[in-house]
Chain A
Amino acid sequence: MSATQRDDRALERRYRRLLRAYPAGYRHERGDEIVGTLLDAAAPGQRRPDPRQAARLVMAGLRTRAGTHLLTAERLWLGALRLAAIVSLTHLITVRIGFLRSWVPPGESALQWAFAPELFQLLLAAGALIATATNRFRTGLALASAALVVNTFLGAFTYDPFALLDMENSAYLPALAALAVLARQALVRPDGVPWWLLALCVAPVAAASVLLRVAGLRMGVGPWLLLAGPLLLVLLVALLRRPSRAVRTGYRAAAGALALGLAVVGVTVLASAATDRAFVVLQAAPLLAIAFAFVDPRIPLGIGLGIAGARLPALVELVAQFDPEATPSSGLLMTALAAPAAAVLLAVAGWWAGRRRIRQ
């Protein structure tokens, strides 16, 4: 074997390693051709991949895995709306689960509360989430609307008439708005977002939770209940049926989006008691989502729309109730400033990255 052949072999081996960024099926079909082109483009005696070629190869591979290499403007917006609906519904459900626990008085059996309207609302919202995750948007819209009716019924007896602007209920607005648009789409169905991308975005929030535990703050069981709810829902979907390919795609997207919904809930729950260190880690979540915008712009755009839709009404209420005499707490500042700002930043980053992808 000549020195040139040895160099070629070494370079080919390294390029094939980078090619693992692509899905196996794509690699099988196009891998040899791409490696052939890369070797043609290499300088004589080159043994290591060109950094520019390597970076573009990995990025193109990740985009192919995410399914965004064929992204169109329509699919970008539909995918983002689907994600916004899933994140908002997850937020609603996890908050409701947290409430449910407080609804059962101490010493009484939880079973006798099983038919409470609060639980009914929770089940309707859970059904809406499952329908949305499996691309059945009309069913999702009907169930979410029914959940809102029950919520309004509860609100008439328990809390004030403006309950929809509450932090816990305002997520109905983006969820219903996104589902109303999606339900009108008869032909184009949004694609799923791969779970691994979403899971990577959630990692900083999980790290923040761990940090809080290490810091020894007493958070009670509320956050853990919030965690258990979506996980049980995902398990339920997995057990109920052997999903078709389309549903599996939706399920994978839902699993990741549920985890991201937890990120939203995490910010809300932890805001009132978090340390500055935890806030720093929490702030890494939107930054990471922006970093992934170039792989899958639906992620920041969808989450941004979801959070902004849910947080902005709460912000309006906070501004209306602002007392200049009082010193605002860090939790209030977080809700009033950081969360909406992060949401808008996410949405803009996703929109911009999507525009770039589509124009290419």
Chain B
Amino acid sequence: MDNQSERSASSKKTTAYRVTVSILFGLLGFVVNLLTINLYFPPYTATILIGLLFPMLITLAWGWRYGLLSALAGGCQSMWWIWGPVNGYAIFSIAPPFTLWIVWHGFFAGLRKKRKGEEWWLNAYVVEIPFRILSTINLYTLARWAISLNPPPWGWASSASSTVPIHFSNFVVIKQMVVGYVIILLTDVLLNLGFVRRYLRLKKRIDQTKTGYIISASLLLGVLFWIIDSVIGSVVFYVESSFLDLLALNIPPYVLNVRLFLILTCLIGGLVTSKLLRRQRESEEALRESEKELSQILGGTSVPTFVIDKNHTITHWNKACENLTGVSAGEMVGSRNQWTAFYSAKRPVMADPIVNGLPGEKMVRRYNGKCQESAFIDGAYEAERFFPDLGDSGKWLFFTAGPLRNYQGKVIGAIKTFQDITERKTAEQALRESEEELRLTVANLKHSNVQLEQFAYIASHDLQEPLRMMSIYVQLLARRYKGRLDPDADDFIGYAVDGATHMQTLLNDLLAFSRVGTRGKPLEQTDCETVLEQAVANLKMAIEDSHALVTHNPLPTVMADASQLIQLIQNLIDNAINFKGDEPPHIHVSAEQKEGEWVISVADDGIGIKPEFFDRIFVIFKRLHGRNTYPGTGIGLAVCKKIVERHKGRIWVESEPEKGTTFFFTIPITEIVK
């Protein structure tokens, strides 16, 4: 809002300034004209209204509105005073065109401003021509007719003559033409002067200066020729005529034509020349502009880029490229030393063969097959390479070099862009290394796992033999000598037998545990209902003894090692029977399909487990109860866990003491690939 009001206030101020100056200049013109600058060309006198310069200045500077104001304020009004008494009625056809003249030029000046002076025919010197023609026609027709009506009734013009010789009309036409052009020329020159522009508050002028001078010069040349021709004519060809006669008063018609033709030719020549100069300047400017634009584009991108021309000379080397290579544009632009920025020895960079138009296969061969055609830039190639000389410890660069073509499609240079991929490469390398490390670790782990299982197997297997000896001979000892030694000896033998027996069970369990990993069979489609049937059959005795009830929901078919699955379910049911409450146990097996896996549960109504023991129960040989209360070595659930893990499932327990326990395990659902 403030800005707007400020602007409108400043524009009001400008308008006021212009109106004032226009009126002042008009008055100034009026006064200057009243000085009556007369040129005497006997028998005629020509009054030169040099004061017209002022409204002309206003109209060319500010447009026709201010021009008209200035003209009406006085600039053009003086002629009513000066010529009115002489011309009588004719003043009505002579004076108004002067005001019109000012408006005419103001109008075209405005048009020039609007079109930024692009059209040559809007030039003040050109638009003067049609006006001058109309004005001339007017002088020969309307003005002469008006003169024939003289004298008019008003007193101050009573001396106006009613006849004029045609020579006088010629004289007036030429005078007006010359004065018109002189005024335009003067105005133009004045408008090029700095202080005038400052005073009129115009922008500094860059264009048109040359144009103006060239046209003025050609016009002056025409006028000069006119004068020289007059001199030569008066001395050589028309010795009987005076210089003034030949200059203006009595020019033979064909001489006049020749001179007018020459002036016109000069003027046209000037116009054409200025036009050509202007076009050249414009194309130079356009070139500079596009060059500047390219430089700005390259400078504005963070992609390191350089450009070479068809002679391999560097034309652009942007900031990002300076940053990447550490070599400044000042060093590189204009040289052909692009290699110095990248290599320690002289060799072409990829942009060079592009400029030479090296065929694709050769290009690929040159880079040992490590470069390839760009997928989306026509004719460009790209490659990855390590540059040991860049930066502190070398850099990996991904670079693309593509041709620059002219409008005919001819290669005129090449552009090369870089991408610093050192970080990516380093990361890739680190990833490869850590992957390798991981692979090794996994392999080692697998190996040590296998060895551990092997060890457990061999240990448990080979320990059996000496244990058997111990056990059997202690038994033999007991058999043969029981009662024959003292009672202590019998006790000791008894403990030795117990220990040996327990150790045998432990070893067997350990063997079973280690066999889960070492003796597993491949996984195949296994019906869980059959598995349950088998498990129940294996536990027939225990089930009958405890009067257990085993029920189940429909069970799925899963990918499993059938014998291990039997063992798993058997162990869980056996567990449920072992830890039953006072009542005969009820064991229920069910299955539920969850995301990507089957969750199979074995629930009982036994003594339950406290939550703090949930993890402990799956550890090998960990027991929650004394061997005397509940039998077992504590291997069952550890084997279960191992079996489930071999099937890539999970096993867990939910339980409430005195209420019962539910074991859950999962088996992944795998697609059967046939």
Q: Do A and B make up one complex?
A: no
